[in-house]
């Protein structure tokens, strides 16, 4: 398989770690485009149409926004459906991890005792820019919505039950599913913080499972610039996926729409709705630097409005 897969990401991004490991597990060669951890990202926006969360995956001129739809895109690209093998329950566990468990870990890593480890590496100007960027990202729904003690208690409660229930190599079977990657990246985020890493120590079965996940590695990766990624989009033709269509409220296939995350980073992306399924919403757009692209979003967690 040629490396027409570009991941736009930055090293400490936990959702990016989910996809880096998935690329390693699936054996997909990929190009790494390192982006800044805060906006603006002028060479990425032509591809996403304004979507600003990290990471974004580009396969030729198809651009996948959000790790749920990146997973769907990689499954289609590889033809390997094993990540979805355990079915509905594994997908719901992944959804819980990417929302509730994620917010719990953000509350842990952003509590005053723990955030110093991260902030001490930044200059005062960088700290101010980071805080302003994340305030804009979270808008009316603060990223830290749980008090520190409640976050620690919830985290311990989840980990006690996870540790007890790990009877197979992975959460649902002897092969990993979407649930493993989604739970893993949240715990990886905690492990990266020198103050919070000790919260994982009591859980031996979790540690063994995390080691099995980490062993997938990041696979066959080579560096690329944002300019190269844009040039690749420009020379590629977007591919319309074959989807089991689903009717969306208030909008028809072929109409102009906007697609906006419902939680945070609520930047509307405008385009023509070309397909929608239970898993995906696909817009056709064009931008001078990228040419014609198809931008994919998950169905769950996004608002589609007539544009």
Ligand X SMILES: N[C@@H](CCC(=O)N[C@@H](CS)C(=O)NCC(=O)O)C(=O)O
Q: Which residues bind ligand X (CB under 6 A)?
A: 13-15, 37, 52-54, 66-68, 98, 137
Q: In angstroms, what CA-CA distances link 43 with 56, 92, 96, 279? A: 12, 34, 32, 27
Closest approach of ligand X to the CB of residue 204, in Å: 27
Distance between CA atoms of 4 and 29, rounded to whole angstroms? 8
Provide the greatest CA pair distance for the chain: 54
Handedness of CA 246, 250, 256, 258 (dihedral sign): negative
Residue 301 CB, shortest distance to ligand X, in Å, is 7
Nearer to ligand X, 238 or 265 (CB): 265
* Pairing outcome for strands 56-59 and 30-34: unpaired
Indicate the SS3 state at residue 116: helix
Question: What is the residue-wise DSSP string for 148-189?
Answer: HHHHHHHHHHHHHHHHHH--SSSSSSSS--HHHHHHHHHHHH
Nearer to ligand X, 14 or 291 (CB): 14
Minimum gap (Å) between residue 19 Cβ and ligand X = 8
Q: Which is nearer to ligand X, 37 or 62 (CB)?
A: 37
| Nearest-approach distance from CB 160 to ligand X, in angstroms | 26
Tell me whether residue 44 or residue 291 sits nearer to ligand X (CB atom): 44
CB 150 within 8 A of CB 156: no
The distance of closest approach from Cβ of residue 133 to ligand X in the complex, given in angstroms and rounded to an integer, is: 7
C-beta of 66 vs 91, nearer to ligand X: 66
């Amino acid at each position: 398989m040629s490396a027409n897969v570009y991941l736009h990401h930055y090293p400490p991004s936990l959702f990016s770690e989910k996809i880096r490991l998935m690329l390693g597990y699936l054996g997909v060669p990929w190009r790494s485009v390192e982006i800044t951890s805060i906006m603006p990202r002028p060479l990425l926006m032509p591809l996403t149409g304004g979507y600003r969360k990290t990471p974004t995956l580009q396969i030729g001129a198809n651009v996948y926004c959000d790790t749920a739809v990146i997973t769907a895109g990689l499954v289609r690209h590889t033809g390997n459906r094993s990540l979805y093998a355990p079915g509905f329950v594994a997908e719901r566990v992944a959804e819980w991890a990417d929302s509730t468990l994620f917010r719990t870990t953000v509350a842990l890593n952003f509590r005053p005792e723990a955030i110093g480890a991260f902030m001490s590496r930044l200059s005062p100007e960088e700290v101010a820019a980071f805080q302003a960027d994340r305030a804009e990202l979270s808008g009316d729904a603060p990223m830290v919505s749980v008090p520190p003690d409640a976050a620690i208690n919830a985290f311990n409660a989840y980990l006690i039950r996870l540790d007890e229930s790990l009877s197979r190599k992975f959460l649902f079977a002897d092969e990993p599913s979407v649930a493993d990657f989604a739970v893993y990246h949240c715990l990886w985020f905690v492990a990266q913080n020198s103050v919070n890493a000790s919260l994982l120590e009591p859980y031996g079965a979790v540690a063994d499972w995390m080691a099995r996940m980490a062993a997938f590695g990041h696979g066959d990766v080579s560096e690329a610039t944002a300019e190269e990624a844009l040039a690749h989009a420009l020379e590629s033709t977007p591919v319309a996926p074959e989807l089991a269509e689903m009717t969306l409220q208030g909008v028809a296939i072929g109409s102009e729409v906007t697609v906006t995350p419902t939680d945070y980073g609520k930047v509307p992306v405008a385009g023509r709705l070309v397909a929608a399924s239970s898993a995906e919403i696909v817009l056709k757009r064009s931008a001078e630097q990228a040419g014609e692209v198809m931008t994919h979003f998950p169905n769950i967690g996004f608002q589609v409005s007539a544009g």
